[in-house]
Structure 1
Amino acid sequence: MIPAALSPESLFEARVPYTRRKLRGQFFTPPALARAMTRWACAACPESFLDPAVGPGIFLECLADLPAAPRRIVACDIDPLALDLARRRIPGARPQLLRRDFLAADFPERFDAIAANPPYIRHHDADLPESLFRRFDARFGLRFSRLTNVYCLFLLKIADRLSPRGRAAVITPTEFLNADFGRAIKRVLLDTPAFAGLIIFDAAANIFDGLLTTATITLFDAARAGDELTIIHAPDARAADAAFDAFDAGKKTGHSRRRLRAIRGENPPTVGAAHPARTADPAPSIARIPRTALNPDNKWGTGLSRAPDPNRARQQAAIRVVRASRPSPAHSDPMRARQLASLARTHPPPQRSRLRLGSDPQRSRLRRRADARRASGDPLSSLLSTLSRSAARPLGDFARCMRGIATGANAFFTLSDAEARRWRLPDAFLAPCVSKSAHVRGTLFDADDFLALRRAGRKCLLLDLTPDTAPLAADYLAHGRRLGVHRRYLTRHRTHWFVREQRPPAPMWVSVFVRGRLRFVLNRAGALNLTTFHGIYPREDYADLLERLLPWLAGDEFHRRCAAEQRTYGDGLLKFEPKDIERLPIPDLDDPAVHRALHPSGEA
């Protein structure tokens, strides 16, 4: 048996480097949360129990605290060390521990109770075989995105392995509720009678040590199958017991609030005493939502349990009307070659000689315009305060948004000026780039800003080779091979591992991860953006209008509208994908009133 002073999770983390654990998605469930999940899943005295990603065995240990443990216990994992720790953790029990990949293996048996914390592995780290996706496609009658995170496939297979009286509690990131790859997952959930609801933890709560992500527990209860789903928002992991109690109670009660305070060790104030300052988070908030009211194509992670915003409803209605009345925008064309060719025609690469000189003839004019707008106030604030005065249109009607360039190994593909000289790489083999959001200050990035990065020794030069020029950089490419760069996920899937993605510089950037507000930046340096920013490519005739709209994009009204499209990570970190950006509602740039507001009289 493992000494209580050192948990199996701590032993595992001491023996396995963080980089390997991250690659395999091995982040462990806090004990209090595992107990709450196990207690709920086993509330109906199940005969059988499954943990499909057992790790060091926290859920198995929690079974020992139950009045009556299931007679048959099955657990599997692909990691032999994790299985050994799980076996030593419960020496008196006789669970069936299998070294098996739950997704790939056949599990004909169905289980009465399942508790799971599946691995969180992004698609480019998992490298799942196409045959596995085809099996899931055939089983559920849908085509799942090949960008789907591994935990989503676990979620589907867990639901499929429940008995007619079964219960399952599965903790995963909240990401799939908002991500595009989650649409098919949510569609399957809505079609699964056992799907009973969600417990969504607050975005500011860090549930897992060493992992910056939000957390949601998906609940299945085959005996409770019905048309109503229960959505609970919990402040943090300490509210888990209260959330599960409220889920089973069918309504929010004072019992849930008192239980939450007891979990925290807080005593309620004495009757008649002065009210102390608020020290506790509110009890879990609960909503009952008809299954038919949920659309799998919508984002479920933002405001799902809150009262609908009538202004938001009007905005969405206006956008739907506009979309229905206009032809499909060009960015829906699946032919990527055609899209890139169009971008190349409308936005040719800049002349690099101009970059090296550090001159930008538009710099002063742009900054004078921005200063004048800040001084006079945003002229759109009154005009665009409500959609009743100007119809909203998705930004995608006026611009394409594309993710930044993914190199697969930024440390190798981006160089500082000193590194380029050391490897004798001329400017002809390098392209100006921005690899970190901290390298960009403000809403304008021009040639002077780029040269400042270069002089400061920042890695702002992107390796820009072709098969023809590669022999002239043979020493540096040999260095990359020694580092194993050519065997990385992205590089090994390229025809030539050292050739970067080809796309023109984006005239405007928008931040990917933010705390607070989205940041839009005008790219006057002609620099390439890596994945720290998305690139915005205005459609024909809209480049100047989008540039002039920049002050409004920094305002309160726009950021209030952004809330429904964001994806929330742990500790309040927000993420926007390119399609999220394209869906953002902005003023109708074809509206004459908007034209007048963006071109005030007397402006140069």
Structure 2
Amino acid sequence: MRLEGELGSGFSIAKVQEVAREGSPPNNFLFTTSGTSSPLGRRQRTVPLASIAHIRRGVATGCNQFFLLTDEQAAKLPDTTYVPAATRLRDISTDRLDEAAHDAIGARGLRRWLLWLSEEDADDHIVSQLLEQGEVNGVPDAHLCKVRKLWYAVERIAAPDLLFGPMSKGRFRLIVNDVKAVPTNTFYGIRIRRTLESVEPVAMLASWIRGPAGQDALANASRQHGSGTLKIEPRDLADLQIPIHIAQALD
């Protein structure tokens, strides 16, 4: 098993390989590539999701009322100071968050943009006014804001390929993130490690997770809370066993 990550942000499984303890010992114990045709590759039927994807919680803003914007609020700011956001599972009515679905959220007057500020952005007159208003409202004193180097600069993460709702009373929701929205911490993000030339492998993974086998595996890995609500932790989602043919399409 090979791990990736660091102490600050945690570790995830980067690669898993099993070697049968029989016959002659291998020449080395390095990981073979996914294209290797070997008896092991033919026998192995599943791999953990973390071997092909990064799994992590979305961004915790510290004050959603300030950092998440409606269309009206975003229109007043330079377009480089905010990015598409995915904020609440119930606001997304389809299993694909494309531009039309994201626009529909905005048309309802809901918050669908995330402030994405740097130190240089604070020099802009409009941004400066916004920050002053945030200070008047005590936003810098919120716990997460207080521990940042710049209270107004949220953690920068890469937009995931899939948005996963970690709590469910029935089926777990999985949303293809076509619009490349940055999720808040109500979601887990699943980002494929390799840059893909086609969206088909991601759709294949999404279809399997939404299907009976994937939903059963998620339910078995979840913990039951009150009123029958199921919740799965990031580490358990990372260990979700994916069929090898899907993993190979994504590796």
- Name the counterpart of 2:150: 496
- Name the counterpart of 2:212: 556
Which letter does structure 1 place at the counterpart of 2:94? G
TM-score (norm 2): 0.77
Counterparts of 2:51 and 2:247, CA distance in 1: 13
Counterparts of 1:328 and 1:589, CA distance in 2: 20
| Residue 483 of structure 1, CA deviation | 1.6
- Name the counterpart of 2:181: 527
Counterparts of 2:188 and 2:218, CA distance in 1: 16
Q: How many residues align?
A: 215
- Name the counterpart of 1:453: 105
Deviations 1:182-203, CA, capped at 9 Å, x for gaps: xxxxxxxxxxxxxxxxxxxxxx
Which letter does structure 2 place at the counterpart of 1:442? T
| Residue 455 of structure 1, CA deviation | 2.5
The unaligned stretches of length 5 or more in structure 1 are 1-326, 340-388, 599-604
Counterparts of 2:174 and 2:209, CA distance in 1: 7
* Mapping of residues 398-547 of structure 1, within 5 Å: 398-421=52-75, 424-472=76-124, 473-540=127-194, 544-547=200-203
Which letter does structure 1 place at the counterpart of 2:214? F
Q: 1:568 to 1:483 in 2, by over 3 A?
A: farther
Counterparts of 1:554 and 1:588, CA distance in 2: 17
SS of residue in 2 equivalent to 1:545 = helix
Q: 1:390 to 1:328 in 2, by over 3 A?
A: closer
| Residue 512 of structure 1, CA deviation | 2.0
Q: 1:524 to 1:591 in 2, by over 3 A?
A: closer
| Residue 524 of structure 1, CA deviation | 0.6
Which letter does structure 2 place at the counterpart of 1:448? A
Counterparts of 1:412 and 1:444, CA distance in 2: 27
Q: 1:516 to 1:494 in 2, by over 3 A?
A: same
SS of residue in 1 equivalent to 2:201 = helix
Q: 1:338 to 1:550 in 2, by over 3 A?
A: closer
SS of residue in 2 equivalent to 1:470 = helix
Which letter does structure 2 place at the counterpart of 1:476? L
TM-score (norm 1): 0.33
| Residue 428 of structure 1, CA deviation | 2.0
- Name the counterpart of 1:394: 48
Q: Are the counterparts in 1 of residues 164 and 187 from structure 2 also a CA contact under 8 Å?
A: yes
Which letter does structure 2 place at the counterpart of 1:430? Y
- Name the counterpart of 2:24: none
Counterparts of 2:10 and 2:168, CA distance in 1: 31
Counterparts of 1:502 and 1:457, CA distance in 2: 25
The counterpart of 2:231, out of the listed 555, 575, 579, is: 575
The unaligned stretches of length 5 or more in structure 2 are 12-42
Q: 1:426 to 1:454 in 2, by over 3 A?
A: farther
Structure number with bigger Rg: 1
| CA RMSD in angstroms, aligned pairs only | 2.5
- Name the counterpart of 1:588: 244
Larger helix proportion of the pair: 1
Counterparts of 1:443 and 1:395, CA distance in 2: 20
Counting aligned pairs with the same residue, the percent is 28
Counterparts of 1:591 and 1:446, CA distance in 2: 24
Q: Are the counterparts in 2 of residues 403 and 577 from structure 1 also a CA contact under 8 Å?
A: no
Instruction: Give the structure, 1 or 2, with the largest relative contact order (CA under 8 Å, sep 6 or more).
Output: 2
- Name the counterpart of 2:20: none
SS of residue in 2 equivalent to 1:438 = helix
Q: 1:518 to 1:591 in 2, by over 3 A?
A: closer
Deviations 1:237-279, CA, capped at 9 Å, x for gaps: xxxxxxxxxxxxxxxxxxxxxxxxxxxxxxxxxxxxxxxxxxx
Deviating above 6 A after TM superposition, structure 1's stretches of 4 or more consecutive aligned residues are: none
Counterparts of 2:107 and 2:68, CA distance in 1: 15
- Name the counterpart of 1:57: none
SS of residue in 2 equivalent to 1:540 = coil
| Residue 390 of structure 1, CA deviation | 6.6
- Name the counterpart of 1:334: 6
| Residue 565 of structure 1, CA deviation | 2.0
| Residue 409 of structure 1, CA deviation | 0.6
Q: Are the counterparts in 2 of residues 408 and 490 from structure 1 also a CA contact under 8 Å?
A: yes
Counterparts of 2:46 and 2:213, CA distance in 1: 12
Counterparts of 2:245 and 2:178, CA distance in 1: 22
